A = this chain, B = another copy of it.
Amino acid sequence: MSDIAGRPRILINGNFSDDKGDHTQRLSALDRGFQYGDGLFETLAVSDGVVNHWSLHWARLCEACERLFIPTPNEVQIRSEIDKVLAGVGKEIVKIIISRGEGVRGYAFRHVSPTRVVSAYPWPDLPKANATQGIALFECRTPIARQPALAGIKHLNRLENILARHEWNDARFAEGIMLDMEKNVIEGTMSNVFLVKDNILQTPDLSQCGVAGITRQRIMHVANEKGITLEVKEITLLQLERADEVFVCNTVIGIWPVNKINQIRFDVEEEQNPVTRLIQRAIA
């Protein structure tokens, strides 16, 4: 939980970063997270001190560590650090960053000890209407590069998302949609995207790029449980625009129906959005 408005409480390798007098409590400028974006993160939703879907987040964190050749942190230690930063009441966000740690100059690494940063943020004040009346999507021009070596994981190389998010500064757009160089829809700047067409739920294939979100994973599970046909495939912007229903999702926003992409409007009333509403209720 934050100690002043919007400012998180942060533990760096188990020490509070806002304590006085101990240098180990702030980051070294030689940390490879800072030097190269060499690491990964997870964003968790917490309700009254309970982390939602911990096992899914932990599994993804472990997969990202493995793919980046970073030793997996100790789960008990991380859980105890999460408990330390939480206020324990209401809704909070916890962000875990694992970087490769402090290194010498150069890209090569060996026997580096990872840095753990665990932070708790106040739950953001998002417009409640986004979940009911839907949002407009901005079409970002910054492409997502195809990079299978990094696809799916939530690594710290996020300049693409930052440049895409910087393309608009108009509050009418709550999210932007990102395409790859072949104009396939990949994801939102901070969310995953789904469409419904002829009662089939579809979401972009993320084997070449994009972050495979935990809420996306939960939705795929819900679709299976509810008997909704799901296709993970290449999806063009035109297919998205011609869908019956479109929504974006992540851990913090949940599910936001999309009511507008470029000049195309979508009716997000319950009767026109049966699949989105069904999944929204199941995920809540």
**Which residues of A line the B interface, CB within 8 A?**
6, 8, 10, 12, 17, 20-21, 23, 26-38, 41, 68-69, 93, 95, 97, 99, 104-110, 117, 119, 121, 124, 142-143, 145-150, 155-166, 169, 181, 189-190, 209
A106 touches B34 (CB 8 A): no
- Docked complex Cα distance between A20 and B159 (Å): 33
Query: In the assembled complex, which residues on chain B have CB atoms less than 8 Å from the CB atom of A155?
Result: 159
- Docked complex Cα distance between A180 and B243 (Å): 34
Complex copy number for this chain:
2
Determine chain A's interface SS by DSSP, over half rule. loop
Query: In the assembled complex, which residues on chain B have CB atoms less than 8 Å from the CB atom of A190?
Result: 106-107
Query: In the assembled complex, which residues on chain B have CB atoms less than 8 Å from the CB atom of A41?
Result: 35
- Docked complex Cα distance between A147 and B159 (Å): 11
A146 touches B149 (CB 8 A): no
B162 touches A36 (CB 8 A): yes
Among B29, B156, B166, contact of A12 (Cβ-Cβ < 8 Å)? B29
B146 touches A181 (CB 8 A): yes
Given contacts A145-B146, A163-B68, contact A158 B36 (CB under 8 A): yes
Among B37, B93, B95, B105, contact of A37 (Cβ-Cβ < 8 Å)? B37
Among B23, B30, B37, contact of A159 (Cβ-Cβ < 8 Å)? B37
Given contacts A155-B159, A162-B36, contact A121 B99 (CB under 8 A): no
A6 touches B117 (CB 8 A): no
- Docked complex Cα distance between A161 and B30 (Å): 17
A34 touches B36 (CB 8 A): no
- Docked complex Cα distance between A195 and B34 (Å): 34
With both chains docked as a complex, state the minimum distance between the C-beta of A220 and any C-beta of chain B, in angstroms. Answer: 25
Among B32, B34, B158, contact of A27 (Cβ-Cβ < 8 Å)? B34
Among B8, B33, B68, B165, contact of A34 (Cβ-Cβ < 8 Å)? B33
Given contacts A21-B21, A105-B121, A108-B165, contact A158 B37 (CB under 8 A): yes
- Docked complex Cα distance between A146 and B121 (Å): 35
A165 touches B107 (CB 8 A): yes
Determine the residue in chain B with the shortest Cβ distance to A11: B29
Query: In the assembled complex, which residues on chain B have CB atoms less than 8 Å from the CB atom of A163?
Result: 68-69, 149-150
Query: In the assembled complex, which residues on chain B have CB atoms less than 8 Å from the CB atom of A108?
Result: 165-166
Given contacts A26-B27, A34-B34, A69-B166, contact A150 B143 (CB under 8 A): no
